Amino acid sequence: MPDPARLTVRGLTKTFGSAQVLTDVELSVLPGEVHGLAGQNGSGKSTLIKIITGLYTPDPGALFEVDGRPIRLPVRWPEVHAAGVSVVHQDLGLLDQLTVSENICVGGFPTRLGRINRTRRDELAARTLDRLGVSLSPARVVGTLTAAQRAEVAIARAMRDLTPGSGLIILDESTRALSGADLEHIHQLLRRIAADGSSALMVSHSLSELMAVTDRMTVLRDGRVAGGGMPTSGLSEQELARRMLGSSVEAVTPRAVAGPQRQGAEGQEGPADPGRPAVTVTGLNGPHLADVSFSVARGEILGLTGLPGSGYEDIAYLVSGAQRAVAGELRTGSAKVNLARGSVAACLRAGVVLVPERRDRDGLAFELSMRDNISLPELGKRGRPWFVARRWQQEDAEAAAATLGIRPRAPHILVKQLSGGNQQKVLLAKWLNTGPALLVLHEPTQAVDIGARTDILHALQRAANTGTSILLVSSEPEDLVATCDRILVYGREVGLRQADAATPEQLIEEIYATSEATAGSLT
Amino acid sequence: MTMSDQTGRPGADTDRSEDPMTNTTPPAGPTPPADAAPPAGPPERATSAGVTTAGVTTAEARTTRAGLARDRLHWFGSRYALVGVWILMAIIYGIVTPHNFLRISTAQAIFGSQSPLLFLSISALCTFVVGEFDLSFAGVMGLAATIIPVLSGLHHMNVALACLIALVSCIACGVVNAFFIVKLGVSSLIVTLGTASLYLGLAELLSNQNTVSVTNPHFAQIALQDFLGLPLSFWYGIVLCAAFAYVIKWTPIGRHIVFVGANREVARLAGINVNRIRVGSYISASIVAALAGIMLVATVGGFDPTASPSYLLPALAAVFLGTAVVMPGQFNPIGTLFGIYFLETGIIGLQLLGYSGWVQDAFYGAGLVAAVTVAHLVRNRTRVA
């Protein structure tokens, strides 16, 4: 192409402390194209956008150009904005009580003698809307608009200062509130913008949307480009999913020992040992999922996965009482819990414990010590109302540090002083220490290094070998295939299906198949 | 201030944060296997081919003796630096005004006069340790300190009964605070700012905006009776602080309280009834504030309701100063005890130097800012460590 790319990023690396979030990322958006930026949560999409908009400083050595002109790093937003780059916010950034014209012109009001010139403001808004082919009165109050119209206003604001036929707008998951015809409408608008010669960079984790609207795509996985500037026409959704989810980039943990009841099939109640029976969940309905039933045998590791956004993650929180279910019942051999009550205490009494995904927010008190965090669930049981001894807390923390390989092995160390992997081990130790009947985990290996991941997965296998039932809710195909005795895949339309996958690649296919079934049932 | 706002339910938040500050540590490649002494881990960790064990870095393992000593020093310094400042302050006063400052009576003035304020600070601590915020404790204390002389002085009621009525009224104040904040979810800052003024107004109503006094001479004895050279009220304060510290450190409910204060969602997911603890904190705060009122009336013999707001800032200053001592970055009763007498030493010293009146206000105000700054810096240092 004779024209230089509208936006070029090359050799971009970003390190936070010891963690490399982006590695040698390359991105090139051509004039007149809609370019997709795809990736799972945590793949580095947001970090990349935050560097482009000047919120984060990249590591030295990166190249950044707009229309062939180099931009000094770190990005100063006014400079890039003046060069013709603008952003549509994730939540659109509209003020409901103001008019369309005020919302479009905010940040660039035409003034005269320091006062806003209302006539010219309304003209500017009308002109911008007209250019985009949007019929909307500038005087309307934004709060009264439909979702699609609101998106149009936000896009019009981003397009306001761009010379027709130039410029780049970045849509950072801006369309996630839309669906169906509204989404289609906005896609047409984006196509019109691109046809006029402007460019759009669209960040999304929705495969179908990216397939529908983009010309080319860049896929990020674990902070690296897993596919750069691929023409969308040559891609299948499956191919895209494979690139997003990845396949065996890391060494897969071999199964150490099969669970004692590896064959424990669905519906089969856990026999033997009445203290640690199987756990059965029936008729679980949540805000985003309907009629889920499954059971976990004693000593079984049951995997649960699905497409992002299908709602399968909720199951971890619903089953453990952290989130209130619409309906549902959980049974262990000795207890029955009504999940519609959403009582953590009742689930804990039944022996169901949760290792949540967000260890910083839901899992651990970062300002307190490792010992205090590990002993928390046991204080009531093992202490007396007037006195809790320190010794067992110390011993438990030391034992956990030894078995899980927590470094440093100092029970008094504050959780915030530990690395991410060690924090995750503390969180796991906290709940393993309670001797649970069912251990529910959500993304236990997210953002931990490979050594910690191995330790964590082995700890799960050991726990299963001693009879603990484990429900592993995860989006990591490698983890699931490596550790689980059985894997269930959830799809919004098809419900739970048992996956028959021996490799991560096969599992990705099966996860993807749930969305095909969805699409099939819709048409 | 630890007004944590963690109300979102974990599962409801499906849009996971990609903020790298919260989920860091990407695959950093295999780390070298644990050197020197591998931990007594289970066998499969050693056997899994090629995959390493814990995330051990060699640097971590090589903690030297000198490093340990430095850590110890830093540990001690971060906890007791302000005690050193206190001693230094006393030495300076001792040098500047040896005849006035270095006397038993000065020590008695410092330690004997502050127990209403100490009780009041502990009242503030009750809500602060669970991550709540209360500005009404001074108003509650004022209400108690008004009800007692009004009932016993003006209406000739038995003093003990008057104290009981004051206590019950204050508990009602705590229940009102808790109702709005915990039950209805209104911002604690706004609610307690409002109720502080409300309780002050009620006290003024009861007293007709006059100073009211207790006529019963024996009442003062419960606070002023001499014991080991100091009034009983001082020892009450010590006992209260010790009891508070014990509950926080050594009982299940105390540990639960600490977790509610540190991270409400973590506490909830551990099966702790968070709201019950929050309500309890407001009610116990009002009980301790009522005790502060009783101490105040017993010590002084009467009370001017319009004076109660002036107790707010000194108590806050002491509580925040306390976060820089013993347990850096955390609200704690021993630190608060220290904070009270630290501030009082400074003020008495300045008064002995001939500054009076304005000194108290200026010192408490400056002390509050200094305290919060020191606590902030100490917390940042522990984060880096």
Tens of pLDDT, residue by residue over B64-108, are: 566 667 767 777 777 787 888 889 989 999 998 888 888 888 888
Q: Which residues pair with A353 in a beta bridge?
A: A439
Q: What's the token pair of residue B26?
A: 């990407």
- Residue A273: pLDDT above 50? no
**Rg of chain A's alpha carbons, rounded to an integer?**
26
Exposure pattern of B351-368 as b/e (b: 16+ CB <10 Å)?
bbeeeeeebbeebbeebb
Q: What whole-number distance in Å separates Cα of residue A316 and Cα of residue A438?
A: 11
Tens of pLDDT, residue by residue over A43-79, are: 788 889 989 988 888 888 889 988 888 888 888 888 8
Q: Are A291 and A275 in contact (CB under 8 A)?
A: no
Name the residue among A478, A482, A483 with its Cα closest to residue A505.
A478
Q: Are B286 and B171 in contact (CB under 8 A)?
A: yes
| Binary contact (B24, A383; C-beta < 8 A) | no
Tens of pLDDT, residue by residue over A336-393, are: 999 998 799 999 999 999 999 988 889 999 989 999 999 999 998 888 888 999 899 9
Name the residue among A144, A157, A170 with its Cα closest to residue A37.
A170
Name which of A217-226, A316-325, A383-392, B64-73 the model is least confident about.
Answer: B64-73
| Binary contact (A365, B259; C-beta < 8 A) | yes
**SS3 sequence, chain B?**
CCCCCCCCCCCCCCCCCCCCCCCCCCCCCCCCCCCCCCCCCCHHHHHCCCCCCCCCCHHHHCCCHHHHHHHHHHHHHHHHHHHHHHHHHHHHHHHHCHHHHCCHHHHHHHHHCCHHHHHHHHHHHHHHCCCCCCCCHHHHHHHHHHHHHHHHHHCCCCHHHHHHHHHHHHHHHHHHHHHHHHHCCCCHHHHHHHHHHHHHHHHHHHHCCCCEECCCHHHHHHHHCEECCEEHHHHHHHHHHHHHHHHHHHCHHHHHHHHHHHCHHHHHHCCCCHHHHHHHHHHHHHHHHHHHHHHHHHHHCEECHHHHHHHHHHHHHHHHHHCCCCCCCCCCHHHHHHHHHHHHHHHHHHHHCCCCCHHHHHHHHHHHHHHHHHHHHHHHHHHHC
Element at A450 (helix H, strand E): helix A450-465
What is the count of residue pairs from A and B with beta carbons less than 8 Å apart?
225
- Residue B29: pLDDT above 50? no
Which residues 6+ apart lie within 8 Å of A184 measured at CB?
none
How close, in Å, is residue B264 to chain A by CA atoms?
Answer: 8
| Chain B neighbors of A47, CB-CB under 8 A | 18, 20
How close, in Å, is residue A363 to chain B by CA atoms?
Answer: 5
- Residue B35: pLDDT above 50? no
A314: nearest CA partner in chain B: B11
CATH code that applies to domain A279-522: 3.40.50.300
CA B68 to chain centre: 31
- Residue A448: pLDDT above 60? yes
* Terminal C-alpha separation, chain A: 39
Domain made up of A7-245: CATH architecture: 3-Layer(aba) Sandwich (3.40)
Q: Are A36 and A202 in contact (CB under 8 A)?
A: yes
Pairing of strands A292-296, A279-285: antiparallel
Q: Domains in chain B and their CATH numbers?
A: 89-384 (1.10.3470)
pLDDT of residue B27: 35
- Residue A88: pLDDT above 50? yes
How close, in Å, is residue A398 to chain B by CA atoms?
Answer: 11
Give me the interface pTM, i.e. the ipTM.
Answer: 0.74
Tens of pLDDT, residue by residue over A36-50, are: 998 876 678 888 998
| Chain A neighbors of B26, CB-CB under 8 A | 19-21, 222-223, 447, 449
Which residues 6+ apart lie within 8 Å of A453 measured at CB?
A250, A253, A421, A445, A479
| Binary contact (B266, A409; C-beta < 8 A) | no
Q: Are B78 and B381 in contact (CB under 8 A)?
A: yes
| Binary contact (B251, A20; C-beta < 8 A) | no
| Binary contact (B259, A376; C-beta < 8 A) | yes
How close, in Å, is residue A473 to chain B by CA atoms?
Answer: 12
pLDDT of residue A248: 38
Give the model's confidence band at B192: pLDDT under 50 very low, under 70 low, under 90 confident, else very high. very high
CATH 3.40.50.300 residue ranges of chain A are 7-245, 279-522
Q: Are B323 and B331 in contact (CB under 8 A)?
A: yes
Q: What whole-number distance in Å separates Cα of residue A472 and Cα of residue A440?
A: 6
Q: What is the dihedral of CA A45, A47, A51, A56, to 10 degrees?
A: 170
- Residue A249: pLDDT above 50? no
Give the model's confidence band at B57: pLDDT under 50 very low, under 70 low, under 90 confident, else very high. very low
Q: Which residues pair with B227 in a beta bridge?
A: B230
pLDDT of residue B65: 63
- Top-confidence residue, A143 or B196: B196
Q: What whole-number distance in Å separates Cα of residue A205 and Cα of residue A43?
A: 10
Q: What whole-number distance in Å separates Cα of residue B232 and Cα of residue B295?
A: 10
